[in-house]
Structures are given as structure tokens and as C-alpha cells.
Amino acid sequence: MRPSRLKEDLALLLRNPYGRLGLAILVALVVAAVIGPYLTPYDIWQYGICRPFEPPSTQRPFGCDEIGRDLLTLFLYGGRISLLVGFLAALLSTLLGAVAGLVSGYLGGLVDSVIMRVVDALLALPGLVLMIIFAAILGPSLFNVILVISVLSWPPVARVVRSQVVSLKEYPHVEAAKAFGAGATRIIFKHIAPATMPVVLANMVLQISNAIIAEAALSFLGLGDPRIPSWGGILRFAFRMGAMSAGYWWYVVPPGTGILLAVLSVTFISYALDEIVNPKLRRF
């Protein structure tokens, strides 16, 4: 994507009120996740610093868990893991889907049929159930969570990219490249792929929210890395200790709010990106 086009798209995103709000929330969450753990005086496994289930106070705004750990510290570290998984899994799944869509749409024929049948099969099956099965088989670890989410989340991106490539490969500049003897790989990644970037980026933003929700679900079910708490992992421990039924709302509300804000911010950004992908929606 050209720098001038990138600046224009960024200006359109910032002009949209949903885009500005979404970016503000997402940047705030990322900054808190990156620098927050360095500002807290506690470690995530430092327990006994307060009473079990101590309510929020001026000294510890988020209260404490069942073994006396500071929940603000857990929230900040958990946000780092949840957002990291969300971004990495979205990047990998978008990359897989984009490559599959480009190859399928351009080559057509048997290659297209095979890739699209795989896409149809994965879309027909319940994604979360498949993630639970494969995560249970591979074992609980952060790498396995990212791998499972990435490998099972690329089909929607592949389908969208393929639909664009089918029309783009008939464009004059692509036909000219064929006439000059350019190979399929060069045509796909030099002449067609750049034209699909706005759609790819818009889909990657949606993939981030899906990955954050998937990671929270897997961690809540005990399939995440138990050594590294995420927002979903904090919720798992909270429900295991009966926090809500006992009235310890401060154990549940912060991680739940973190997940909600992350997904909401990405949804707002995705809504604003519709103006970039579809110029007819732009408000002048």
C-alpha cells in the first residue's frame, strides 16, 4: 500500500467518530498492558499481600483475589496476554486467509475447488468447538492457543479475498503483466495483492475481536497457559472460587470489562473502516 494511500485511509479513519473512539479505547488498553505491569509494585504470583477477597480500596483499587494477590496487577498482566494473543492470532489467520484467497481466486480450477471446499467445511463446523478439541489435544500453552485460533479462523478472510481476486485478475494491468510473461507468483503478490489490502486490513481488525473472545473462552475453560494469567484465566479462577455468588464482584468485573472494551474498540474501528473499503459509505 502506498504511503499516500495509507495517510488518506488514516485520515478517513480519524474523521469517523466511531474510529476515533475505537482507537482511543484500544490505545489506552495497549498502553496500560505494556507499561502498567512496570508501574505496579507487585508480581502476579506475589500472594499474601492483603486479605483474601479484600474489596477495592484506595491502596488497591481492584481489590484482591482468594490468595491475597493484587487484582490490578493481574488485570494489567492479563491484558497484555489477551491483547497479544488477539493481535498475533489475527495477524496469522489473516495472512493464511489472504494467501489462500489469492491463490484460489487467481489459479481457479482444481486448486480453487480444493481450497474452497476446505473453507466450506471449516465454516460449517462450530469454530469454538473445534478450538476446544484441538487445544485440548495440543495441551495448555500460550503458543498452542495462538496456533489453534489462527489455523481455524482464516476461512472467512479467504472467502472475501477470493471474491475480490476473481474480478481483479481480469483488470487490464494484470492482463498486461501476463502478456509480458510475468509468472503467477509475481502477478498474485505484486499486481493483485496490493489492491486487496484495504479489505484484508478490515478483516484483520474483525479477526482481532474474534481472537480475543476465543482466547478468553479457551482460558476460561482451562485450555490456556495456567502459568500466564489472561483476562479469561482470571475469570476462570473467579468462577471456580464462586466470586459472583459470594458477592465478590471486583474479581469478575475488571477482566470482563477489559474483554468488553477490547472487543468494542475493535468493532468501532471496523465500522469506521467500512468507509475506506466502500467509498459509497463516506460522509462528506
Residue 89 lies in a domain: yes
Residue 59 lies in a domain: no
Residue 152 lies in a domain: yes
Q: What is the pTM of this model?
A: 0.88
CA neighbours within 13 Å on the CB side: how many for 123?
14
- Coil/strand/helix, residue 213: helix
pLDDT score recorded for residue 284: 44
- Which residue range(s) make up the domain with 14? 3-33+79-237+247-281
Phi first, then psi, for residue 64 (nearest 5°) are -135, 160
pLDDT score recorded for residue 71: 93
pLDDT score recorded for residue 1: 52
The DSSP code for 280 is G
Residue 62 lies in a domain: no
Tens of pLDDT, residues 193-228: 888 888 888 889 889 999 999 999 999 998 988 888
Kindly report the three-state secondary structure assignment for every residue of 157-197: HHHHHHHHHHHHCCCHHHHHHHHCCCCHHHHHHHHHHHHHH
What distance in Å separates the CA atoms of residue 240 and residue 263, rounded to the nearest whole number? 24
Matching residue, cell 495462538: 146
Phi first, then psi, for residue 139 (nearest 5°) are 100, 155
Q: Could you give the number of structural domains in the chain?
A: 1
Residue 52 lies in a domain: no
What distance in Å separates the CA atoms of residue 183 and residue 233, rounded to the nearest whole number? 48
Query: What single letter denotes the amino acid at residue 20?
Result: R
Which residues, 6 or more positions from 55, have their beta carbon under 8 angstroms from its beta carbon?
A: 63, 248, 250
Residue 99 lies in a domain: yes
Phi first, then psi, for residue 206 (nearest 5°) are -65, -35
Phi first, then psi, for residue 56 (nearest 5°) are -60, 145
Tell me, what CATH number does 273's domain have?
1.10.3720.10
Residue 254 lies in a domain: yes
Q: In this structure, how many other beta carbons lie within 10 angstroms of the beta carbon of residue 188?
A: 20
Residue 26 lies in a domain: yes
User: pLDDT 10s per residue in the chain (284 long)?
Assistant: 555 566 666 777 778 888 889 999 999 999 999 998 888 888 888 888 889 899 998 888 999 999 899 999 999 999 999 999 999 999 999 999 999 999 999 888 899 899 999 999 999 888 889 999 999 999 888 899 999 999 999 999 999 999 988 888 878 877 787 777 777 888 888 888 888 888 888 889 889 999 999 999 999 998 988 888 899 999 999 998 888 888 899 999 999 999 999 999 999 988 888 776 665 555 54
The answer to whether the beta carbons of residues 194 and 1 sit under 8 Å apart is yes
Burial class (CB in 10 A: 0-12, 13-18, 19+), 240: exposed
pLDDT score recorded for residue 283: 53
pLDDT score recorded for residue 250: 92
**70 conformational bin, left if phi > 0, alpha if psi -120 to 50, beta if neither:** beta
pLDDT score recorded for residue 282: 53
Taking CA 51 as the corner, what is the angle to CA 50 and CA 54, rounded to the nearest 5 degrees? 95
